[in-house]
Amino acid sequence: MDLFEGGIREPFIVRWPGKIKPNSKSDFISAQFDMMATMAEIANAETNNTDGISLLPTLLGKPDKQKQREYIYFEYPENGGQVAIRMGDWKGVRVNVRKTNDSPWMLFDLKNDMQETKDLAAQYPDIIARFKAIQVAEHENSHLLEWEFLNRKIPAKK
């Protein structure tokens, strides 16, 4: 129910005899929305309007053929509205966005702080600026009003 590592870091276990080498491992970072692209490639089907990339090369032990992405963008309307971006070892998180449209970014170096205990945002304003730009570029207004928390208007205080 949140976008910190305890809420989104999960193992992905796959068994496919004759295709995936038993006991193989990968550190490739992916998200649940990659599953549609992966299953579509396995089924030799087309996909429309997905941010996912196929993980099939990684699953088949061909990491040199794996498509890469610059970052993974997450939005979650629950728990006050949250945004997260994973870019390499960097992870940015915003919380309570529903209450405060300008809630600050927290920044973590997951290589050295997987528990996200040391906020480095003040030390890396260039990364925070990049994350702000990514959020603007990636956000799409929700067709469900109650899910929209980034571009909603907060009533003025009386």
pTM of the model: 0.85
pLDDT score recorded for residue 153 = 55
CA pair distance 50, 33, nearest whole angstrom: 7
CA pair distance 70, 75, nearest whole angstrom: 17
Name the band, by pLDDT with cuts 50, 70 and 90, for residue 126. Answer: very high
**CATH number for the domain whose boundaries are 72-147:** 3.30.1120.10
pLDDT score recorded for residue 99 = 85
75-120: per-residue pLDDT in tens?
888 888 899 999 999 999 999 988 888 899 999 999 999 999 999 9
Q: Where are the domains of the chain?
A: 1-68, 72-147
Name the band, by pLDDT with cuts 50, 70 and 90, for residue 73. Answer: very high
- The residues pairing with 93 across neighbouring beta strands, listed in sequence order, are 84, 106
